[in-house]
């Protein structure tokens, strides 16, 4: 008996009393039931009355960002969070006479609240992604990887907080413990870390955007970027195949981007016409006068005039007058080094049509005209002899 009195006196001196309410099993069950009922009522009041009213207010505004920010997922998670906070405030007190049970319930509910908060913040981040994707100035930026990076950071913070609650340790001590295993973490999350760094570089230097046409011959890539995420980039090739490659590969290897072609609305055309050397001739004064009428802007030839000289300047004049050729860009018709297929004459210009099929039509029309007018200048296109030619020679 004296031992019991000594223990009571010791607890009193330490600030503890034996006035803690001792609840029966029925009272405890009723108390928990009432608290859970209140949580459920608050949850449904928020979900069925308060949040529909908030959504009605956001729909009445002219902007759309508030509709995305307060979407159904965010509001539902808000309802769960409010109910969990109320449960965490009252349920542990029901077990105040049982410290161990109270501590377990308190930690469990705290971890549940952390889990809901992480999901709620991630939902907000997804809402911001939708908002920025509808903003004209940010629509083409590869922000998906950055938003995924933010989600990973939030999840990591949530895991650290959950472990600190579970182990009853400060978050700083948890981070110190993780620092000792940094090498293992670097190995496990290597791709995500490299993708994170690459995503920052891609956005900082504006290297790549969804919708860009890129070419990487080494990886058989020639198509349009459809997605830029934290770990992978998806490209739809022009043969309609889908290729994926790690995000960090874009920053570590070179690739060809055709974005500037679309932004400046100027796509290059190069056509090579192979001229038969035997058809190139010098011109008499009468022939020069005739061709000068056809090409009035042709400058005088230094030395002996040739039909190829007039042909080149005629094609330049034709391109300058073409309605789909960009005159402000480089435009020329030049002779390339001769080979065993004749003398190549290259037509070099830019068109304002960047879409593939219409572009090819314009390019083909210019090529057709370049070949069609050759006889007018006494020129022939080079062509290797075929079976028809040998048959005609035999006859």
The CATH number of the domain holding residue 245 is: 2.30.30.60
Q: What is the CATH number of the domain that holds 292?
A: 3.30.70.100
Q: Do 189 and 213 lie in a common domain?
A: no
pLDDT at 13: 45
Antiparallel, parallel or unpaired: β 256-257 and 213-216: antiparallel
* DSSP classification of residue 141: S
pLDDT at 100: 82
Q: Do 161 and 35 lie in a common domain?
A: yes
Going along 89-241, which residue ranges are E strands? 213-216, 221-228, 232-237
Q: Is residue 226 a part of any domain in this protein? A: yes
Q: Give the Cα-Cα-Cα angle 217, 220, 222 (nearest 5 degrees).
A: 80
Q: Look at the pTM and tell me if it is higher than 0.85.
A: no
Instruction: Tell how far CA 164 is from the center of its chain.
Output: 36
Going along the chain, which residue ranges are E strands? 213-216, 221-228, 232-237, 242-246, 256-257, 267-275, 332-335, 343-351
DSSP string, 333-383: EEEPPPBTTBEEEEEEEEES--SHHHHHHHHHHHHHHHHHTGGGGT--B--
Tokens 């998670």, located at residue: 77
Q: Do 46 and 133 lie in a common domain?
A: yes
Q: Is residue 12 a part of any domain in this protein? A: no
- Would you tell me how many other CB atoms lie within 10 Å of the CB of residue 37? 10
Q: Do 248 and 282 lie in a common domain?
A: no
Query: What pLDDT tens digit does each residue of the chain (395 aa) get?
Result: 444 444 445 434 444 444 445 667 777 778 878 888 888 888 888 877 777 777 777 667 666 666 667 777 777 888 888 888 888 888 887 777 778 888 888 888 888 888 988 988 888 888 877 777 766 655 566 667 677 778 888 888 888 888 888 877 777 666 666 655 556 666 666 777 777 778 778 877 788 888 899 999 888 999 999 988 778 889 999 999 999 988 888 888 889 999 899 888 999 999 999 999 999 999 988 888 888 888 888 887 777 789 999 999 999 999 999 999 998 899 999 999 998 889 999 999 999 999 999 999 999 999 999 999 999 999 999 987 766 666 666 55
Q: Is residue 387 a part of any domain in this protein? A: no
pLDDT at 96: 75
Query: Looking at the 3D structure of the chain, how many domains does it have?
Result: 3
Q: Do 285 and 210 lie in a common domain?
A: no
pLDDT at 386: 64
Q: Is residue 8 a part of any domain in this protein? A: no
3-state secondary structure of 14: coil
Q: Do 89 and 170 lie in a common domain?
A: yes
3-state secondary structure of 9: helix
Q: Is residue 391 a part of any domain in this protein? A: no
Q: Is 344 left (phi over 0), alpha (psi -120 to 50) or beta?
A: beta
Report CA torsion sign: 83, 65, 262, 204. Answer: negative
* DSSP classification of residue 268: E
Q: Do 158 and 303 lie in a common domain?
A: no
Angle between helices 285-294 and 307-321 (to 10 degrees): 10
DSSP string, 202-234: HHHTT---TT-EEEEGGGTEEEEEEEE-SSEEE
**What's the domain range around 288?**
265-377
Give yes or no for a contact between 144 and 228, defined as CB atoms under 8 angstroms apart.
yes
């Amino acid at each position: 008996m004296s031992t019991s009195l000594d223990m009571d006196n010791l607890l009193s001196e330490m600030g503890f009393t034996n006035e803690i309410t001792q609840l029966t099993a029925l009272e405890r069950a009723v108390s928990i039931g009432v608290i859970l009922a209140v949580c459920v009522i608050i949850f449904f009041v928020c979900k069925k009355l308060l949040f529909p009213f908030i959504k009605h207010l956001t729909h009445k505004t002219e902007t759309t960002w508030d509709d995305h920010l307060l979407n159904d997922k965010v509001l539902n998670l808000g309802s769960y969070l409010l109910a969990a906070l109320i449960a965490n405030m009252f349920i542990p007190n029901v077990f105040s006479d049982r410290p161990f049970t109270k501590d377990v319930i308190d930690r469990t509910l705290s971890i549940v609240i952390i889990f809901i908060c992480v999901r709620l913040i991630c939902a907000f981040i997804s809402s911001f992604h939708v908002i920025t994707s509808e903003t004209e100035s940010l629509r083409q930026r590869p922000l998906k990887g950055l938003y995924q990076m933010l989600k990973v950071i939030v999840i990591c913070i949530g895991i650290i907080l959950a472990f600190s609650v579970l182990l009853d340790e400060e978050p700083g001590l948890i981070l110190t413990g993780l620092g000792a295993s940094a090498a293992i973490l670097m190995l496990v999350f290597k791709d995500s870390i490299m993708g994170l760094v690459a995503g920052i570089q891609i956005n900082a230097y504006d290297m790549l955007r969804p919708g860009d046409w890129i070419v990487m011959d080494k990886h058989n890539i020639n198509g349009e970027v459809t997605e830029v995420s934290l770990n992978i980039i998806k490209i739809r090739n022009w043969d309609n195949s889908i290729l994926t490659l790690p995000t960090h590969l874009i920053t570590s290897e070179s690739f060809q981007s055709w974005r500037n072609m679309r932004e400046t609305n100027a796509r290059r055309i190069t056509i090579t016409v192979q001229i038969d050397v035997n058809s190139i001739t010098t011109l008499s004064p009468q022939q020069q006068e005739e061709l000068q009428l056809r090409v009035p802007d042709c400058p005088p030839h230094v030395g002996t005039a040739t039909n190829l000289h007039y042909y080149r300047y005629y094609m330049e004049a034709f391109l300058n007058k073409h309605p789909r050729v960009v005159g402000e860009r480089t435009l020329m018709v030049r002779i390339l080094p001769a080979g065993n297929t004749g003398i190549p004459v290259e037509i070099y210009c830019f068109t304002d049509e960047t879409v593939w099929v219409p572009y090819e039509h314009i390019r083909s029309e210019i090529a057709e005209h370049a070949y069609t007018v050759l006889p007018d200048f006494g020129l022939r296109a080079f062509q290797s002899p075929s079976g028809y030619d040998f048959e005609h020679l035999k006859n």
